[in-house]
Amino acid sequence: MDPILLREVLAQWASGVVVVATVTDAGRRHGMTASSFSAVALDPPLISVCLTTTSTTHRLIERSEIFTVSILSHEHEPIGRRFAGGKPAAVDHFGPERWDAAKTGAPVLADAAGWLDCRVAARHEAGDHTIVLGEVLAAGVPRRTAPLIYHARAFRELRDAARGTVP
Ligand SMILES: Cc1cc2nc3c(=O)[nH]c(=O)nc-3n(C[C@H](O)[C@H](O)[C@H](O)COP(=O)(O)O)c2cc1C
């Protein structure tokens, strides 16, 4: 498979954008932008994310076994960029927004379009990524708002949102 073509095809897939975050025993928060979030099952409640094995977030979740998913709204593009910035792992990406500690202790964005608090239920090695299955322990919809979209390597908004028909 030609890797350039593969990337080109995958870029045609539109998705929402989330921040996957965790906290260490020492209380250090860390997170990253992800578009590989997926709903998996309702009973039991399971979701998945695919994390590149070289990411700091992957390494920290391996140890903590807990993570949160904050679904970004259309106003959260700066957050999506900041958490994908490739800054040194020691840099705190959390910025000026309010982040609350969920039940597991991992941070959730207070004004996210939605959030999930998870315990790692299973891990599946998948090449240079790991599919992390999360059992949902708690969840919330802080406010109803139009989502941030990622398509063709760019952050976008739903056209319906501009028409005022979303949510
Ligand atoms: C819109 C967008 C979606 C992304 N989705 C994923 C993803 O699903 N999985 C992944 O491993 N990296 C994804 N990335 C890349 C990570 O955010 C990036 O590698 C990040 O710097 C990792 O941070 P860390 O090493 O501090 O954990 C995405 C980047 C962007 C901009």
Task: Write the pLDDT tens digit of every residue in 138-156.
Answer: 999 999 999 999 999 999 9
Is the CB–ligand 1 distance for residue 132 below 6 Å? no
Is the CB–ligand 1 distance for residue 50 below 6 Å? yes
**Which residues, 6 or more positions from 115, have their beta carbon under 8 angstroms from its beta carbon?**
68, 69, 70, 71, 102, 108, 109, 139, 140, 142
- For the chain, what are the domain ranges? 3-157
CA atoms within 13 A on the CB side of 63: 13
| Ordered alpha helix ranges (H), 13-148 | 56-64, 77-82
Better-predicted residue by pLDDT, 79 or 165: 79
Q: Ligand 1, closest atom to CA 31?
A: 27
Give backbone dihedrals phi and psi of 46, rounded to 5 degrees, phi first.
-130, 140
Q: Whose CA is nearest to atom 9 of ligand 1?
A: 51
Is the CB–ligand 1 distance for residue 32 below 6 Å? yes
* Whether 34 contacts 20, CB under 8 Å: yes
What's the distance, Cα to Cα, between the start and end of the chain in Å?
A: 39
Is the CB–ligand 1 distance for residue 22 below 6 Å? no
A 10 A CB-CB count for 70 gives 30
Reported confidence tier of residue 103, pLDDT bands at 50, 70, 90: very high
pLDDT tens digits, 84-98: 987 776 778 998 999
Name which of 141, 16, 116, 13 is nearest 74 in CA terms.
16
Decide which of 2.30.110.10, 3.40.50.2300, 1.10.10.350, 3.30.70.80 is the CATH code for 3-157.
Answer: 2.30.110.10
* Whether 71 contacts 114, CB under 8 Å: yes
A 10 A CB-CB count for 48 gives 19
What is residue 167's predicted lDDT score, i.e. its pLDDT?
Answer: 64
Stated pTM of the model: 0.96
| Ordered alpha helix ranges (H), 24-112 | 56-64, 77-82
Q: Whose CA is nearest to atom 15 of ligand 1?
A: 84
